[in-house]
Amino acid sequence: MTRRRKASIIFACLLCVGSTISAVGQNGLDRNDDARRPENYRSQNFLIHTDLARDDAEALLQKMETMLKIISRYWGAPNRKTIECYVVDNLNYWPAGSLSPNVRATVSQGGITIAQGSRRGNQLNMNAIVYASNSYGTPQHEAVHAYCYQTFGVTGPTWYAEGMAELGNYWVEDDTTVTAPDYVIRHLKRSPRKSLEEITDYRQRTGDGWQNYTWRWALCHFLVNNRNYYDRFRPMGVGFLTGRPSTFARSYASRMKELKFEFEFFVDHLDRGFDIDRCVWNWKARYREQKGTRPVVARIRADKGWQPGGLKVVKGQDYHYTAEGTWRTSKDSEEAFADGGPTGNGKLIGILFNDYELSAPIELGTDGTFTATGDGQLLLRCSDAWNRLSDNKGTISVEFMSAKDD
């Protein structure tokens, strides 16, 4: 006797209303151009119904294709099915009956992805349709959800689904710098800090306000780009999408202190152009107290953030330092010694790390003596704006000797 295995019916919808800053008023409702009707546009992976002008619609398709290429490569699963999207620029151009009242209400403030289909064993048959306002990258955001539904049947826990959708919206391939828009950065810098537990709380629901989306983006951007953590992030995410159980807390259990420290550092220094890869923390570096006649030597690059100075300092102890070499902090600036150029940029500075806390920065220079304000590991860098390290050039070599008591 054979028993037919029933297909399970899946109906899912991700409502991202409120994920974008109120889009009402952004649509140019009183624009004077000729009334348009929604038209259809196609590209390799998308079918778009939109009232956008042809050039804008073609440009959007191109952006969506680029986004899809990046995310499908990241998840290692090519898109197999056309993704259908309704992209609304101006609701007045959509005839009565062309969109349901619910969809009309939704696309004035954000977007929604509605998926339905079935799963029979390994056979997934899902169709997802995107309805999105043409503001704040909502079409790209929703298209990430649609790709996940059609490819995996699910989108993962809210923090992951929404963080990765926002990431897809701003992602530039092979670029580890921050490319999020200013309102996202401003919110993250000004609002009270959210803990990792709060950001990844599994009880969260989608559509709970754009502010929460900024934190989800920040964590996903950080974990996708930081070499200390991305090796675990990808399998964890693929686990979310393919039904293998995994959680954030479990995936990073052995590295949570480091992760928390680096994530907070990222949020503290967040700015357009901040480059995670240049500022990644070196947790494997060795530090030693300077004793005898052998100095502690470090080589410090101008184009990176805090780098290990190799010196373990003791509170109250004086240390002599001598720096050799030159560097510069922009393409056109003059070569400077470690005491910096006339602008104040390019000075060698230090900081003490102790038990995941940082001291205030320590001003150093070409040579001199400093007194350790606490115990800790000494890290060094070339002073410059955190989001403008990429055009820096040069390396300086520094030697440290403990000052002898007389």
Minimum gap (Å) between residue 82 Cβ and Zn ion: 20
Distances (CA, A) of 135 to 60, 132, 173, 358, 384: 11, 8, 22, 40, 35
Give the distance from CA 190 to its chain's centroid.
17
Minimum gap (Å) between residue 298 Cβ and Zn ion: 45
> How many C-beta atoms lie closer than 10 Å to residue 314's C-beta?
13
Q: Which CB, 162 or 262, lies closer to Zn ion?
A: 162
Size, binding site for Zn ion by CB under 5 A:
3
Under the binding rule (CB under 5 A), the answer on residue 165 touching Zn ion is yes
Token reading at 315: 């509170």
Under the binding rule (CB under 5 A), the answer on residue 154 touching Zn ion is no
> Could you please report the per-residue DSSP string of 142-168?
HHHHHHHHHHHS---SHHHHHHHHHHH
Minimum gap (Å) between residue 40 Cβ and Zn ion: 24
Contact (CB, 8 A) for 187 and 214: yes
Minimum gap (Å) between residue 111 Cβ and Zn ion: 7
Site pattern 4..33 for Zn ion (x: CB under 5 A): ------------x-----------------
Q: Which CB, 48 or 161, lies closer to Zn ion?
A: 161
Stretch that binds Zn ion, among 43-51, 59-67, 161-169, 311-319 (CB under 5 A): 161-169
Q: Which CB, 84 or 162, lies closer to Zn ion?
A: 162
Q: What is the DSSP letter of 288?
A: B
Token reading at 201: 């709380």
Site pattern 326..365 for Zn ion (x: CB under 5 A): ----------------------------------------
Stretch that binds Zn ion, among 51-59, 165-173, 184-192, 338-346 (CB under 5 A): 165-173
Q: Which CB, 204 or 317, lies closer to Zn ion?
A: 204
3-state secondary structure of 275: strand
Q: Which CB, 133 or 307, lies closer to Zn ion?
A: 133
Three-class HEC string of 21-70: CCCCCCCCCCCCCCCCCCEEEECCCEEEEECCCHHHHHHHHHHHHHHHHH
Minimum gap (Å) between residue 104 Cβ and Zn ion: 19
Minimum gap (Å) between residue 98 Cβ and Zn ion: 23
Q: Which CB, 142 or 303, lies closer to Zn ion?
A: 142
Q: Which CB, 204 or 326, lies closer to Zn ion?
A: 204
Q: What is the rounded CA–CA span in Å between residue 184 and residue 123? A: 39
CB within 8 Å of 356: residues ≥ 6 apart: 257, 258, 260, 261
Q: What is the DSSP letter of 347?
A: B
Which positions lie near Zn ion, rule CB under 5 A? 16, 162, 165
